[in-house]
Structure 1
Amino acid sequence: MKNVKTTITIGGIECYAFHGCMEEEGKIGSRYLVDVQIDKNVEQAVFNDELNDTVDYVVVNKIVNEQMAIRSKLIEHVAGRILKELSRLIPGEKAIEVKITKFNPPVNGNMHHASFTIKEGLN
């Protein structure tokens, strides 16, 4: 295969967490959805069927849940921590994108969700 690009998307990691600037958010919490996209050459896994040649979804899910459990005021901060930890644990050249969606943020009026996306790596 020539000029192969491989992307792994781990989407819809559901979390209940306590992020937010308001004191009440730290007590009652909110529903979140986290999506992670990893652009990395895992072509070997296509041919040899070995977990060591790709990105382990279990590891990604664990990192997301660990970081979501640490209270922060801003989802931007949480996304940055997730990105940093994934970058540290996934070897080689890669691009990683993390998107956090917070449902029903406490604002004046109705808002279904607010999202933040951060990406680092290959251009």
Structure 2
Amino acid sequence: MGIIKVNNIRVFAYHGCLEEEAKIGSEYRVDVTVKANLKKSAKTDELADTIDYVHLNYIVKEEMAIRSKLLEEVAQRILDRFFRELRTLKKATVSVAKINPPIGGNVEEVVVILTKKR
């Protein structure tokens, strides 16, 4: 078993329960950790034998572009796509952080973290 991480994916998106959030948008950071059997790719040196982190990044960016009220829903959509499209995936964790959320205080970020296993 091995782990691949894609950290600090920066995205500008329009998630949130407030109408203002749908209009002005916010900055987000997404971190991804996936577990899969990487023994074959470690031997073959072939992209087809591993989890392509370019594909992970692509899925994150596509799903972040779809507006949601809750970060939980966005994170779940990302996980669901990972497991639909990446057959060798065993476990994945997705962290979605809203940078400087509009919650009436000096808050750096709010983060939702979800994990899914096959």
- Which TM bucket (shorter chain)? over 0.9
Aligned partner of 1:14 among 10, 22, 26: 10
Q: Deviations over 1:92-123 (max 9, x none)?
A: 3510111101101111211100000000116x
Aligned partner of 2:66 among 53, 70, 73: 70
Structure 1 CA distance, aligned partners of 2:4 and 2:111? 20
Is residue 117 of structure 1 aligned with residue 113 of structure 2?
yes
Structure 2 CA distance, aligned partners of 1:94 and 1:52? 16
With over 3 angstroms needed to count, the CA separation of the structure-2 counterparts of 1:102 and 1:67, relative to structure 1, is same
SS of 1:71 mapped into structure 2: coil
Greater share of strand: 2
Equivalent residue pairs, number: 118
TM-score, normalisation: structure 1: 0.92
Aligned partner of 1:58 among 34, 48, 54: 54
Unaligned runs of 5+ in 1: none
Is residue 96 of structure 1 aligned with residue 92 of structure 2?
yes
Give aligned-pair identity as a percent. Answer: 44
Structure 1 segments, 4+ long, off by >2 Å, are: none
Aligned partner of 1:32 among 28, 46, 52: 28
CA RMSD of superposed structures (Å): 1.0
